[in-house]
Structure 1
Amino acid sequence: MNKQAEKQQLRKTMRALEARLSERYLERSDRRIAAQLLAMPEYQAAETVFCFVSVGREINTRPVLSAALESGKTLCVPRCLGSGIMELRTIQSLDDLAPGAYGIPEPPEDAPLISVDRVDFAVLPCLTCNHLGQRLGRGGGYYDRFLASYRGGTVLLCREKLIREEIPVTPLDYPIPWVLTEAGLFEDGTPARLS
């Protein structure tokens, strides 16, 4: 089986596993992950934060988005243009978001565009990953393209029950230095302290 077929098989397996997670577990892990992310010194020091807007059973990023806005950070979120291309657009309020591509809440087309090199700290999603930061996304390639040109601090959010140490990767897959689950923060595969 080639890497793409392995990825497709793992996506199918992980979607089925994700669908079986209890609401209680989802809510508990959401709260724990958000609290730990907001405690990260790298997040606290960042002036400009890029964060995905969660949908469905993804880790709820609304508390993170709200906290970034309330603390006066410049907050940018993805606006999908199609074929794996996204723009980073700033928002002033969660009310700025409306369903866009694939039903994902997005900023309006006229929201201010921000360049990747202005982002200090990025919060990325995955379907699954390992503690080393090798991720498997949902298959659109949006974040892989972002990572190809981004060099700032990055944290990958994943529920501990969706961690898989064996992730099929290709040379185009970029590992993320920090992985945050409800069990804690991992830096390059090693448990890290939040100070």
Structure 2
Amino acid sequence: MTKQEQKRALRQTMRCLESQLSDRYKTQSSQKICAHLLAMPEYQASSTIFCFVGTAHEIDTRPILTHALESGKRVCVPLCTAPGIMELREISSLADLAPGAHGILEPDPARCGVVDTDEVDLAVLPCLCCNHLGHRLGQGGGYYDRFLSHYRGGTVLLCREKLLRQEIPLEPHDYPVPWVLTETCLYEDGMPERLG
């Protein structure tokens, strides 16, 4: 089985597993993960953050986006512009978001300006699953792989503890993320670190 076939099989497994998680667990884990992220010194020290807008199957990042905006941080979120290609667009309010082509909340390109990757202090990324070392399995579009290939700032991956896996199929273009944050632990380069 090729790495791509392994990834496809794992995606199917993880989507099935995620669909079986209780709404209560999803809500509570999202709340704890967001609270932990807001307590990270790296978040508190950041001026510009890039954060995904969580879908129903991902961590609900609205508390992060709201807190960052209320704290006077510059906030940018992804705008998918072509298959595998996304831009970072600055928002001033959650009202700047509307459902895009795939039903994912995206910024209005007419109102939200482009932010250069080099301006981002902290990037908050999603995954279907990952391991403690920050190897992530995404949805397969390659959007975040391309972002990570030229981004050199701080990066944290949000993942529910129940979706962590030991083995993630890796290809040469897969970049590890230094921090993995779950509802119970922050892993830095694979090692459990401080929380709160």
Tell me, what secondary structure is at the counterpart of 1:101? coil
Instruction: State the distance in 2 between where 1:29 and 1:194 align.
Output: 14
Report the counterpart of residue 80 of structure 1 in structure 2.
80
Instruction: State the distance in 2 between where 1:59 and 1:108 align.
Output: 22
Report the counterpart of residue 172 of structure 2 in structure 1.
171
Instruction: State the distance in 2 between where 1:108 and 1:115 align.
Output: 17
Root-mean-square deviation (Å): 0.7
Report the counterpart of residue 194 of structure 1 in structure 2.
195
Which deviations, in whole Å up to 9, do the C-alpha atoms of 1:96-135 show, x marking residues without a partner? 1001131111111121110000000000000000000000
Which deviations, in whole Å up to 9, do the C-alpha atoms of 1:54-106 show, x marking residues without a partner? 11121100000000000000000000012100000000000110011311111
Report the counterpart of residue 156 of structure 1 in structure 2.
157
Quick check: 1:53 aligned with 2:50?
A: no
1:71 aligned partner, one-letter code? S
Report the counterpart of residue 5 of structure 2 in structure 1.
5
- Compute the TM-score of the two structures, normalised by the length of structure 2: 0.98
Q: Percent identity?
A: 65
2:53 aligned partner, one-letter code? V
Instruction: State the distance in 1 between where 2:166 and 2:156 align.
Output: 17
Instruction: State the distance in 1 between where 2:174 and 2:36 align.
Output: 26
Q: CA deviation at 1:194?
A: 3.2
Tell me, what secondary structure is at the counterpart of 2:123? strand
Instruction: State the distance in 2 between where 1:40 and 1:145 align.
Output: 26
Superposed counterparts of 1:30-45, under 5 Å: 30-45=30-45
2:14 aligned partner, one-letter code? M
1:34 aligned partner, one-letter code? C
**Number of matched pairs:** 195
Which deviations, in whole Å up to 9, do the C-alpha atoms of 1:1-24 show, x marking residues without a partner? 000000000000000000000011
Structure 1 segments unaligned to the other structure (5+ residues) = none
Instruction: State the distance in 2 between where 1:101 and 1:90 align.
Output: 19
Tell me, what secondary structure is at the counterpart of 1:102? coil
Tell me, what secondary structure is at the counterpart of 1:11? helix
Which deviations, in whole Å up to 9, do the C-alpha atoms of 1:133-187 show, x marking residues without a partner? 0000001100000001100000000000000010000110000000000111000
Instruction: State the distance in 2 between where 1:82 and 1:63 align.
Output: 28
**Structure 1 stretches (4+) deviating beyond 4 angstroms?**
none
1:107 aligned partner, one-letter code? P
